[in-house]
Chain A
């Protein structure tokens, strides 16, 4: 049987460590025992970043007694070194207000292990920062190297993360991992992982780099597995350990670029370069473009190289160049940069492309250098006096899009058909309205087809229409016969029309219709007035057989009565 034992609630705050290095993260745990806290205090300490990292609950039964512990954890990341106090916090647990004890946390500056420790092989892992030269120039881009040493008993590593990379006077650019190698320090062998960093010096004066700090998780052989060492080497899964690595701070001095002997067209290129210049076509007309192809190769910050302004190119219209970098190393410090500059001679008096020069400062020898391409002969024809360059004609006649043209194709001689600028057809309401015509035509055809099929499949309907048509014509005939006072034909026609109409209504042959049909109509609910009119007309027809002489007025009256009767008959719902 479970026994619930009421226990006094408690609240404790604790840190997993009381001293950490800058860049490391400690864990703060707030534990509430006995009951759920009503409010969880949020600690706040200037200089510490404290962030909630989760909540867990532990329920245990011991000898039938249940106890519950709620733990709220926070990650604590220092922003500076020093001693910090996480103050006492108060929480409402199970109706009691409980206060925790204040906790101290000491944050130390991350530092590299002493040289003696490194050389003895006692460090599991450490980092070294190496600058290639102690003398650098402002604006220069150079490659530094960060080396990560891992001792031979490290089975694996991961989660390498740089925490801080202080660089006073440098801008850190691209980075690239180099080829790993092994080295012996003391009695241990270390695997070295080199990481190259591109650094650009931003100012002259004393500069410092580091200490860089990083976290890494290494896997070391487990000490507690025991058993046979032979099998242990295959089955030992190892245990993980998080380490914080730090480099020494590296100081250097940056010199400004020399003031003396600065070439006129020096525009900030620093490194060691060579230049190749080609231009073409060299036989052109005034205004035709000549492409000057400049290739600068070497070591330095190629991305930042710009073509200097050229003196002596005053008689040319110059279009800003396009450029393309082809870098041969991962840091972007070696390779080739190519510029294509379009220049257009503005006068036929030009006979040469002027010399082209490019200046740079070489930090290796501390001197400025100027590379110069001598002037090249150029033939410029006056506008309109010379044919367009030959490649134009060739291009025009042979698929211009498949060739690399040197110039635009020439103008067209014929104006062609001029058209008023107008909105596209798809935006014109009239055009869109016209597009509904085929749809309407189809719909009309569809309706026609439905009606035709409907009539074809319905004999009664077909007969009704035929009789209606016949009656329509017959009424005209009756009027004619009445006007002619042709009593015999009048009543013959009248009788026939009555037979047709009643036959259609009663769905029986017309020839079988006599006055007796009125009884059928009466049985089907026809109104008495209609039946009386019908009988009267039948009687008139019968009388006419024996006393055919009638005056036109009487015939017209009979015709009118027939017309009215027919309308009622056709409207009759049987």
Chain B
């Protein structure tokens, strides 16, 4: 028991020390940013990200530093990831929109439905659907245990069931986007899409840093992307950053 408590204490202390390290690294990167050393600031933020921990603020600042370093694609990728964590953060959306406007080529068009559903994260939609589902079935169960309550619960149960269906559909829509669709954000200055997943394949079209292209297929270190209707090509995975969702 004593050894377990010691282990727990050591674990908690290590966690606190780690968190303090991240906070000091974050502050150091912020100072570099303020001094105009954007590349170093980006490296500082990236170091924290490499630990596998993220926060909307960290990704936001990383996106800013990459943008100031002239890396539009990396900035867009960072802002999009930040937006996934905090979809209603107006500052993230503003900076993402600003950087997208600097990108050469066609703009990414987001449908109204997707924009509306994007107001909540996939986890938030999932929780809403789960809560509505629980309440619906608990209400149904209560009506079985206390039949006298059934008439009073009927309206609430129908309402909760409708909510559960709506939230479930939203969750499903978001989940399909998250798991079955990918976007390639070009992070190379001038990337050339090829007709096949080979270095010596014919050039098909060029894309610019920051272009966001839906991924159609993946083969080894190549991803097939679409650039407008009917135009597809293969990009090396080194030239893009892959993000979940469309």
Residue of B with least CB distance to A412: B57
Contact present for A400 and B91 (CB under 8 Å): yes
Known interface pairs A419-B55, A420-B53, A441-B141; A435-B37 also in contact (CB < 8 Å): no
Min CB distance, B180 to chain A, in Å?
Answer: 12
Complex partner residue of B140 from A317, A400, A407, A442, CB under 8 angstroms:
A442
Q: Is the CB of A319 within 8 A of B144?
A: no
B56 with A416: CB separation less than 8 A: yes
Contacts of A445 in B (CB 8 A): 140-142, 144-145
Which residues of chain A come closer than 8 Å to B137, judged between CB atoms? Answer: 438-439, 441-442
Do B36 and A285 touch (CB < 8 A)?
Answer: yes
Q: With an 8 A cutoff between CB atoms, is B215 at the interface?
A: no
- A448 lies within 8 A of chain B by Cβ: yes
Q: Tell whether A417 is near chain B: CB-to-CB under 8 Å.
A: yes
Give the nearest-CB partner of B67 in chain A.
A408
- Say whether A419 contacts B144, CB under 8 Å: no
Cβ-based interface call for A58 (8 A) = no
Give the interface segment out of A141-149, A230-238, A356-364, A421-429. A421-429
Are B94 and A411 in contact, CB atoms less than 8 angstroms apart? no
Q: Which of B53, B64, B70 is A419 in contact with, Cβ under 8 Å?
A: B53
Q: A384-B36, A408-B95, A446-B144 are in contact. Are A435 and B133 (CB under 8 A)?
A: yes
Other-chain residue from B34, B58, B127, B138 in contact with A438 (beta carbon distance below 8 A): B138
Q: Known contacts A415-B22, A426-B171, A438-B137; is A409 also within 8 Å of B91 by CB?
A: yes
Judge whether B60 and A419 touch: CB under 8 Å.
Answer: no
A414 to B22, CA, bound (A): 11
Which A residues between 133 and 178 are near B, CB-CB below 8 angstroms? none
Number of contacting residues on B, CB 8 A? 62
Give CA–CA (A439, B171) in the complex, Å.
Answer: 19
Note all chain B residues with C-beta closer than 8 A to A344: 68, 70
B144 and A427 form a contact (CB under 8 A): no
Which residues of chain A come closer than 8 Å to B26, judged between CB atoms? 415
Contact B35 A421 (CB under 8 A): no
CB <8 Å contact, A383 and B70 = no
A447 to B95, CA, bound (A): 56
Q: Is A329 an interface residue (CB 8 A)?
A: no
Contact B55 A415 (CB under 8 A): yes
Q: Which of B37, B137, B138, B147 is the most central at the interface, judged by chain A CB atoms within 10 Å of its CB?
A: B137
B121 to chain A, nearest CB (A): 8
Contact A415 B36 (CB under 8 A): no
Residue B226 interfacial (CB < 8 Å): no
The yes or no answer to A382 lying at the interface (CB within 8 A) is yes
Which chain B residues lie closer than 8 Å to A408 at the CB level? 64, 67-68, 94-95, 98-99
Asked if A411 contacts B102 (CB within 8 A), the reply is no
Chain B CB within 8 A of A413 CB:
yes
Inside 8 A of B130's CB, which chain A residues have their CB? 431, 435
Q: Are B64 and A438 closer than 8 Å at their CB atoms?
A: no
> Is A384 within 8 A of B144, CB to CB?
no
- What residues of chain A have their CB less than 8 Å away from a CB belonging to chain B? 285-287, 289, 317, 319-322, 342, 344, 382-384, 395-396, 399-401, 405, 407-421, 424-427, 431, 435, 437-439, 441-442, 444-446, 448-449
Q: Which 3 A-B pairs have the closest CB atoms?
A: A383-B36, A438-B137, A445-B144
